[in-house]
Structure 1
Amino acid sequence: MKTEAAVQNGILYVRLAGDLIGSPDSQQLLHTVNTQLGEDVMLCAIDLSSVRFINSTGIGVLVSILTKFRNQGGELVLINPSDHIRKLLVITKLNAIFTIAANDTEAAEHLKAIR
């Protein structure tokens, strides 16, 4: 899995490509988030549009990241997950806790409305 991260206007944008299925990719993603999470970065948008497959470990990582941000008073939005990932979120009922945005603009609008 490939991970790219950048902070823009106080939002951490994480772009993933490939399969989110476990270590070491999961550890790299968590490390990326942990190094950015702080007073200046309380909002996160994870772009899943290029993620082909995700398993229970990958879903656990997303829940862990969401928890980290919410515990700090922040929020996380998932951007453009594939139909496969959307179905998994529905099956696991995680669609009730994750906010899904169609693109970066919609994600930023939602995150800024929270502040």
Structure 2
Amino acid sequence: MKYQIELKDDVLFIRLQEDLIAGPLTQQLLAGVDEQVDNNVLLCAIDLSNIRFMDSSGMGVLVSLLTKFRNRGGELVLIKPSDHIRKLLIVTKLNAIFTIAENDEYASQFLKESIY
């Protein structure tokens, strides 16, 4: 898994690539997010458009990130998951807890409206 983190207009954008599975980069990502949350960043959008594969540990990462933000009064959305990832979210019923946005603008607008 590769990732990029960008803070734009009070929204933390995380852009993931390749496969979302457990590994050293996953722990590095979680630590980086913890640092942002500790700095009172409450809104997060995770771009899944370039994720090819996700296993159960990858789903656990998404749930963990969602929990971090909601426990602080924030919110998280997923941006444009592929059809394969959408099907996984439906099968696991995680589609009931995640909001899905089709682009950065919608994600940012939804997040800002969710806390005001």
TM range (shorter): over 0.9
Say if 1:10 and 1:40, in contact at 8 Å, map to a contact too.
Answer: no
Counterpart secondary structure, 1:88:
helix
**Which residue pairs with 1:68 in the alignment?**
68
Say if 1:43 and 1:69, in contact at 8 Å, map to a contact too.
Answer: yes
Q: CA deviation at 1:59?
A: 0.2
CA shift digits 1:29-79 (9 cap, x unpaired): 211211111353100000001111100000000000000000000000000
**Which residue pairs with 1:18 in the alignment?**
18
Q: CA deviation at 1:97?
A: 0.2
Output aligned runs, 1:55-94, within 5 Å.
Answer: 55-94=55-94
Give unmatched runs, 5+ long, in structure 2.
Answer: none
Q: Amino acid of the residue matched to residue 106 of structure 2?
A: E
**Which residue pairs with 1:34 in the alignment?**
34
Say if 1:44 and 1:77, in contact at 8 Å, map to a contact too.
Answer: yes
Q: CA deviation at 1:7?
A: 0.6
Say if 1:79 and 1:104, in contact at 8 Å, map to a contact too.
Answer: yes
**Which residue pairs with 1:9 in the alignment?**
9
**Which residue pairs with 1:52 in the alignment?**
52
Counterpart secondary structure, 2:38:
coil
Q: CA deviation at 1:25?
A: 2.5
Identity of aligned residues (%): 60
TM-score calculated relative to the size of structure 1? 0.96
TM-score calculated relative to the size of structure 2? 0.95
Could you tell me how far apart the structure 1 residues matched to 2:35 and 2:17 are? Answer: 20
Could you tell me how far apart the structure 2 residues matched to 1:110 and 1:26 are? Answer: 26
Moved over 3 A (4+): none
Say if 1:45 and 1:76, in contact at 8 Å, map to a contact too.
Answer: yes
Could you tell me how far apart the structure 2 residues matched to 1:64 and 1:27 are? Answer: 11
Number of aligned residue pairs: give it: 115
Q: Amino acid of the residue matched to residue 75 of structure 1?
A: E
